[in-house]
Amino acid sequence: MFVGQIILYRNRGRFFLGRYLSESHGMILVGRERGVNRKISSRQLIHEASVEVTEADFPLWNERCETISESLDLRDVWEIVTGQLSFVTLDQLAGLLWGSNVDEIHRMGLQLCLFTGSPYFVSGTDVWIPRSSPEIESYLLEEGRRLAVAVDRRSFTAWLSGTEHLSVWSLAQEKWLNDLKDYAVMGSSSQSKDIARNILRETGVITTEWQRLAFTLLVERGVFHEDEPLALHQYAIPVGFPPSVMTAGSENLLEQLLRSKDRCDLTTVPIITIDEPSTRDIDDGISVEIFDDRYHIGVHVTDVSSLVEKNGVLELEASNRVASLYFPETTIPMFPSSLSEGYASLVQGEPRLAYSVLIEMDLGGTILSWRVVPSVVRTHAQLSYADVDLSLLYKGHQYDQVLADMDTVANWLRHDRLRKGALEFNRPEMKIQVNDCGQVDIEVLPGRSSARRMVEEFMILANRLLAEYCQANDLPAFFRSLEAPDDTGLEDIPNQIVREYHLMRRIRPSRISLEPAPHSLLGVSVYLQGTSPIRRYLDLVMQRQIVTHLQTGKGSYSRREAEEILYRTELYLKDLAKIERNRRRYWVLKFFDRCTEGRFQGIVLEVRGAEAVVEMIKYPFRANVYLSTPLVPGEGISLRLEEIDFWKSVAKFVQLNEVNQ
């Protein structure tokens, strides 16, 4: 071939004319219009014309060839050839069309017409074979379908770009939309990624972040909300419940079981529940009474296991969900609200099934005895954390004395745990609230309040004793343990915030096992979770195990069954925790984005090269910050929020100094 020679080549199923420029290592450099060059392999080369065209003349030459190609109707030629010849050459076809007045432009125009889709001839080896009438009919039908799909595709791409409205959707367009949605959610792991990327390329947007583009365009078209929790789609977490689950279970079963004489009647015990004001799925309540020179303490947990049939519809749904999900903007419950907020919730004034951990403690704080019993309870007061904190500070509440006694016992329990090596962190917490309009507000709680500490101590006590019950009765249980972190060298760090940060980094993840072991963070020798059966599936399993043993002397689950349950749920529990953390972070970033101040004070926790890990002082939020001025851990730092990437959930803070204040 020679420079400037016209060639016909194939690229991605389409055919183009170009100018030969050079060849190297089996690749041919082809010149197109407007100085655009493309490399093709020799396999893509279809035909070489015996004509040379300059770069300046090529656009006109190409246009004339395309005009000839588009104007040709080969039916008359086909009618002459069919039945007479089994094949024809390109020169024979050109002669039938134009006689002897054939030049290279006509030849290339004919080639382009034949290759880009002639219904009348099919390519052979250097020849063209006429199709039969049935083949032509089939080809035209397929071509009609192809053209219809192409029209649908152009309309869909125009809709995606926001330039056209689609009122009626074809099946192909609905599939493309689902492909895009799946790609926006799953990214490179989506089976539709290639289809989705091709659609996105057709919009003309140039990017390297195709998944982000898919999500952005679908938000603009109203398919997704800008605050869409994509993790729910990624993990196929259902928000609602199927009809079979909604209709399963009945309050009638509660009424029957309430009449059972096998349960301890504790309805006269002054049980108090303490939760957030918005909480409706109330798992547990606490009671503390003083008589016979002893504290009589009760931790009462709603007995969901007796209301939900083992391996029934409701339990299978709970086992699939594993836990309730708590987002700042919504809650995705493990059970339908009729159960979780209705007949299984410890609603004030209503009799409910429970299992109760009953403890006797002397007036010096020593536990004398304890037992676990199936019970019937009635909540006497449904209080919020704020209610309890106000009562402890200022009095004037109906349950002042009861709450004061609870606080006394909780403090004894706390100090006993600390004496046994428990670790306590008093980092402030953020209470994130999002209204129906997507407006986010953050309330910073300065560490755990007295009310929260109180509830925490009673739950730790109950869960420890439930673990001891399982251990003593050789019941397979999901024991939680955590090794003590090595705090060597941390005592020399003067700043408490920095010291706690490094200590927390040394704490290994807790472990769930069927073998009991100490939980060093809590300062207890054995521990499990069984006080939230409405919200956590493993708590429900533990409750069923214990209640069944109390009633029959045998557990409900064998060791093998417990191992299988743990195997199915343990990793998923970590995924759910990560989803909740990421969702909280997203809304914190939303709050920062709408903050009028835009400037923050922080403290350096750790320096890693030119970057520092910084914790904000006003909000317990951490970020990596590039240091323009060197600092050491414990020093204060002034920051300006420069930008937020919500897709990556990253905030970029800039260190302020005298120059950029």
Over residues 427-440, the mean pLDDT reads 92
Is the confidence at residue 645, as pLDDT, over 60? yes
Bridging pattern class, strands 325-326 and 331-332: antiparallel
C-alpha to C-alpha distances, 336 to 242, 250, 275, 651, nearest whole angstrom: 10, 12, 20, 37
pLDDT value, residue 530: 97
Q: Residues with Cβ < 8 Å from 504, sequence gap 6 or more?
A: 425
Over residues 566-570, the mean pLDDT reads 95
Looking at residue 35, what DSSP letter applies?
G
What is the pLDDT confidence band of residue 657, given thresholds at 50, 70 and 90?
A: confident
Is the confidence at residue 348, as pLDDT, over 60? yes
pLDDT value, residue 269: 97
pLDDT value, residue 448: 83
Is the confidence at residue 660, as pLDDT, over 90? no
pLDDT value, residue 382: 96
Compute the distance between CA of residue 378 and CA of residue 264 in angstroms, rounded to an integer: 12
pLDDT value, residue 596: 66
CA atoms within a 13 Å half-sphere pointing along the CA-CB vector of 342: 13
pLDDT digits (tens, 9 = 90+) for 490-537: 988 989 999 999 999 999 999 999 999 999 999 999 999 999 999 999
Looking at residue 131, what DSSP letter applies?
P
Over residues 149-178, the mean pLDDT reads 95
Task: Tell me the H-state helices in 203-329.
Answer: 210-220, 230-234, 243-246, 251-258, 313-321
Q: Nearest Cα to 522, choosing from 411, 423, 416?
A: 423
What is the pLDDT confidence band of residue 12, given thresholds at 50, 70 and 90?
A: confident
Query: Hey, CA dihedral for 343, 346, 351, 356, is it positive or negative?
Result: positive
pLDDT digits (tens, 9 = 90+) for 598-628: 799 999 999 999 999 999 999 999 999 999 9
Q: Nearest Cα to 493, choosing from 479, 505, 481, 508?
A: 505
**Token representation of residue 112:** 């382009």
pLDDT digits (tens, 9 = 90+) for 47-74: 888 889 999 999 999 999 999 999 999 9
The β-bridge partners of 349 are none
pLDDT value, residue 605: 96
Q: Counting Cβ atoms within 10 Å, is residue 654 exposed (0-12), middle (13-18) or buried (19+)?
A: middle
What is the pLDDT confidence band of residue 316, given thresholds at 50, 70 and 90?
A: very high
pLDDT value, residue 116: 84
Q: Counting Cβ atoms within 10 Å, is residue 627 exposed (0-12), middle (13-18) or buried (19+)?
A: middle
Is the confidence at residue 83, as pLDDT, over 90? no
Over residues 137-145, the mean pLDDT reads 90
Over residues 28-41, the mean pLDDT reads 89
pLDDT digits (tens, 9 = 90+) for 394-413: 887 889 999 999 999 999 99
pLDDT value, residue 588: 95
Residues of the chain with CATH 2.40.50.140: 595-655
- For residues 498 and 504, is the Cβ–Cβ distance under 8 A? no
What is the pLDDT confidence band of residue 6, given thresholds at 50, 70 and 90?
A: very high
- For residues 361 and 367, is the Cβ–Cβ distance under 8 A? yes
Is the confidence at residue 213, as pLDDT, over 60? yes
pLDDT value, residue 25: 86
CATH class of the domain at 595-655: mainly beta
What is the pLDDT confidence band of residue 26, given thresholds at 50, 70 and 90?
A: confident
Is the confidence at residue 246, as pLDDT, over 80? yes
Query: Which DSSP string do the residues of 106-119 spell out, in sequence order?
Result: HHHHHHHHHHTT-S
What is the pLDDT confidence band of residue 149, given thresholds at 50, 70 and 90?
A: very high
Is the confidence at residue 444, as pLDDT, over 80? yes
pLDDT value, residue 126: 85
Is the confidence at residue 661, as pLDDT, over 70? no
Compute the distance between CA of residue 186 and CA of residue 577 in angstroms, rounded to an integer: 19
Over residues 253-278, the mean pLDDT reads 93
**Token representation of residue 570:** 């343990």
Share of the chain above pLDDT 90, in %: 84
Considering the chain, what is the average pLDDT of its residues?
A: 93
Compute the distance between CA of residue 19 and CA of residue 61 in angstroms, rounded to an integer: 11
